[in-house]
Structure 1
Amino acid sequence: MHMFVGGYSWAETPARGLSVIGDGGLVRSFTEIPQPFHCTLSPSGHTLYVASNVPEGRIHAVTVSADGTLIERASQPAEGAGTVHTLVHDGHLFATNHDSGEVVVFPLGEDESPGPVCQVIRHTGSGPNSLSQQGPHPHMTLPDPTGSRLLVPDKGTDWLHVYRWDGARLSPHSQVHLGSGHGPRQAVFHPGGRHLYVVNELVSSVTICGYEPASGALWTCGAAATLPEGADGWNAPSAILLSPGGEHLYVANRGHESIAVLEVKDGGAVLEPAGWLRLGEEPLSVMPWDLAWDPAGRLNVANQTAGTVLPLPVDPATGLPELSDAAIKVPDAAFLLFG
């Protein structure tokens, strides 16, 4: 088991380093891919697909050796700008371009290498936030519990899109508007499959959606704040993650520099605040960007400006994480994957 850490830099010099961390700490850094913002593993675990968040977005297929050594095998343009997410589903690779607004589909060969692009879905529209919503900004693709549909939250237009997937192509199924200026960024399904949680980057909230797996019907049914009452100042939630049993939902707050913990109730239909763990007192000092569970049951946080990955023990009774001093230094840490 290794932890793969992607890097992202706001500076003029892009982050270069897909770090591999083993049991003994940092194993090595693979520096060939600029701004490795997100990655996912093939079902075999032998290939890592990396999204490069650069003006001319790219996807990279990287061979993973047993000892964690990475060797790039293939690279292709992602047909757009700012590639921020990759998904392997049903023999295909789906890449999401945040800056230019596309979902791009690549078939995967028997050797797990991506073939030529077979479909490009281009979003249109904008939102009221003049800084963050001048155009479409899809942020991820998420399979529904049946595998026959993919959901795409679009931060730039405030829509959550549902696409049908027939094994070869995507086609529009439905869409739900999550609120003017909300900026939906990431989503996760409740284990029951009938509720979906969408974190809204521009208003610091989580929208609760109802979902009917048989028909793909989607609707909003509630919301919860990611900040405590009375909190002020800039904040932009990033990652959203459920506990393994679905009892708690965790949200990383950039600006408030905290992890919000929401208790999941009523079969997934209700979220109630359980607490917050502050990671830093000064805005932008830590910037928690991603969350992931490790095999030991710890909640790991990628802290971009702090340049650390921080594993946090979690109280099994309350679901609340606790601070630790076990931080691993990783420059510009912005994404985590265990595999």
Structure 2
Amino acid sequence: MPTFVGAYSWTDVPARGIAVVEAGTVTGTFTDIVNPFHLALSPSGQTLYVASNAPEGRVFALRVGDDGSLTPLNDQSAEGAGTIHVLVHSGHLYATNHDSGEVVVFPINPDESLGPVAQSVKHLGAGPDALSQLGPHPHMTIPDPTGTRVLVPDKGNDQLYVYRLEEGLLVPHSQVHLGAGTGPRQLVFNPDGRHLYVVNELVSSITVCGYDPSTGALWTVGTAPTLPEGADGWNAPSGIALSADGRFVYVANRGHESLTVLRVAKDGAHLEPVDTLRLSEEPLSTMPWDLVPDPSGTLLHLANQTAGTVVAFTVDPETGLLSPSDTPAVEVQGAACLLLR
């Protein structure tokens, strides 16, 4: 089955195109979307939804052919700037506008095209980081284990929000402040549904939270580092992923150019660093951005934005340790997000 790869450029010249990768080879590219920063599939697998990280944020619906080819279905304005994440859930598409600070809801039509914005929820507040926290920057949406709520980490105001869903629309439910200047970016749920792990971009840490699925209550439990002791220099963690069996957490470090492995302990309430695998000794040369475990549990796929490659690592099922696989790297300029079909 094909893998879809989105791209992002730091420069004034944006990246364009979604690469279709089959058996380690780029078999096609859809080039008409600026900075396709995040991808999501419809439940049928017939439609690919795309977030365009551009000054005028936009979301796209593309029809997926049997061979993985992509053709336009329709697109809609995200009514904000810097759209960086999309989630398909409860018959709607939820998008986050990083730059302008909104979470936006689109209805999904019977033919899987997108209707215009049904709701836009503006986040408020800022944080102490003068470069990255002048305003709110919601970074993703993720459903809770019950499917009746979604959670949104906000890098700009250090809050983790819980929204209740009513007919697909967002209703504020609860939230927790993760610490001044932490910059919560992404999160994953423990399979137990009672713990979750939030990677903090601005302080290279992971916050462990407790969660009550019956009430939507949320609280902090502790933290774990994403870097080994003594590491210095600029670093900004990006993606976070959970192993197929839920025993290990993986985090990508941009700047330190590494992948960190942590063991899930104490019934999900604690993370223990196990190993850090350096990808390069040269800062910013690789920029590991998005990481996705293979459903088989034997591989971890990684998009390297600066290096412009998609690579795979072999996962030791007992220790969680990573090692380079025999699979050749696939060259995709500006690779920033992965979707395994």
With the length of structure 1 as denominator, give the TM-score of the two structures: 0.99
* Separation in structure 2 between the aligned mates of residue 138 and residue 92 of structure 1, nearest angstrom: 18
* Separation in structure 1 between the aligned mates of residue 52 and residue 88 of structure 2, nearest angstrom: 16
CA deviation string 1:70-129 (max 9, x = no partner)? 001101100100000000000000010000000000111110111121110000110000
In structure 2, the residue matched to 1:85 is: 85
Alpha carbons of 1:215 and 1:244: their partners in 2 closer, same or farther (altered >3 Å)? same
The letter of the residue matching 1:23 is A
In structure 1, the residue matched to 2:288 is: 288
CA deviation string 1:225-258 (max 9, x = no partner)? 0000000000000000000110000000000000
In structure 2, the residue matched to 1:317 is: 318
In structure 2, the residue matched to 1:262 is: 262
TM-superposed CA distance for 1:271, in Å, is 0.2
Over the residues paired in the alignment, what is the CA RMSD in angstroms? 0.9
In structure 2, the residue matched to 1:335 is: 337
The letter of the residue matching 2:336 is A
TM-superposed CA distance for 1:24, in Å, is 4.8
The letter of the residue matching 1:230 is G
TM-superposed CA distance for 1:29, in Å, is 1.1
* Separation in structure 1 between the aligned mates of residue 276 and residue 11 of structure 2, nearest angstrom: 30
CA deviation string 1:251-271 (max 9, x = no partner)? 000000000000001111010
Superposed counterparts of 1:114-263, under 5 Å: 114-263=114-263
The letter of the residue matching 1:299 is L
TM-superposed CA distance for 1:295, in Å, is 4.6
In structure 1, the residue matched to 2:276 is: 276
TM-superposed CA distance for 1:315, in Å, is 1.4
Superposed counterparts of 1:68-83, under 5 Å: 68-83=68-83
The letter of the residue matching 1:276 is T
* Separation in structure 2 between the aligned mates of residue 244 and residue 168 of structure 1, nearest angstrom: 29
In structure 2, the residue matched to 1:303 is: 304
In structure 2, the residue matched to 1:96 is: 96
SS at match of 2:264: strand
CA deviation string 1:138-179 (max 9, x = no partner)? 000010001111100000000001111012321111110000
* Separation in structure 2 between the aligned mates of residue 58 and residue 99 of structure 1, nearest angstrom: 13
Aligned residue pairs, count: 339
CA deviation string 1:258-291 (max 9, x = no partner)? 0000000111101001101110101100000000
- Indicate the percent of aligned positions where both proteins have the same amino acid: 65
- Once structures 1 and 2 are overlaid, which stretch shifts more, 222-231 or 23-32? 23-32
- Contact preservation (8 Å) 2:242, 2:293: no
Point out where structure 1 has 5 or more consecutive residues left out of the alignment.
none
* Separation in structure 1 between the aligned mates of residue 318 and residue 294 of structure 2, nearest angstrom: 18
The letter of the residue matching 2:312 is P
The letter of the residue matching 2:147 is G
- Once structures 1 and 2 are overlaid, which stretch shifts more, 95-104 or 314-323? 314-323
* Structure 1 residue ranges (4+ consecutive) displaced by more than 6 angstroms after TM superposition: none
SS at match of 1:313: strand
- Once structures 1 and 2 are overlaid, which stretch shifts more, 209-218 or 16-25? 16-25
TM-superposed CA distance for 1:25, in Å, is 1.3
Alpha carbons of 1:174 and 1:295: their partners in 2 closer, same or farther (altered >3 Å)? closer
The letter of the residue matching 1:55 is P
SS at match of 1:9: coil
In structure 1, the residue matched to 2:19 is: 19
* Separation in structure 2 between the aligned mates of residue 206 and residue 123 of structure 1, nearest angstrom: 22
* Separation in structure 2 between the aligned mates of residue 114 and residue 153 of structure 1, nearest angstrom: 24
TM-superposed CA distance for 1:323, in Å, is 2.2
The letter of the residue matching 2:332 is V
- Once structures 1 and 2 are overlaid, which stretch shifts more, 290-299 or 189-198? 290-299
In structure 1, the residue matched to 2:29 is: 29
* Separation in structure 2 between the aligned mates of residue 321 and residue 80 of structure 1, nearest angstrom: 39
* Separation in structure 2 between the aligned mates of residue 104 and residue 217 of structure 1, nearest angstrom: 23
* Separation in structure 2 between the aligned mates of residue 314 and residue 249 of structure 1, nearest angstrom: 12
Alpha carbons of 1:199 and 1:19: their partners in 2 closer, same or farther (altered >3 Å)? same
* Separation in structure 1 between the aligned mates of residue 158 and residue 105 of structure 2, nearest angstrom: 23
* Separation in structure 1 between the aligned mates of residue 244 and residue 315 of structure 2, nearest angstrom: 12
Point out where structure 2 has 5 or more consecutive residues left out of the alignment.
none
* Separation in structure 2 between the aligned mates of residue 101 and residue 86 of structure 1, nearest angstrom: 14
* Separation in structure 1 between the aligned mates of residue 89 and residue 253 of structure 2, nearest angstrom: 29
The letter of the residue matching 2:335 is A
- Once structures 1 and 2 are overlaid, which stretch shifts more, 187-196 or 308-317? 308-317
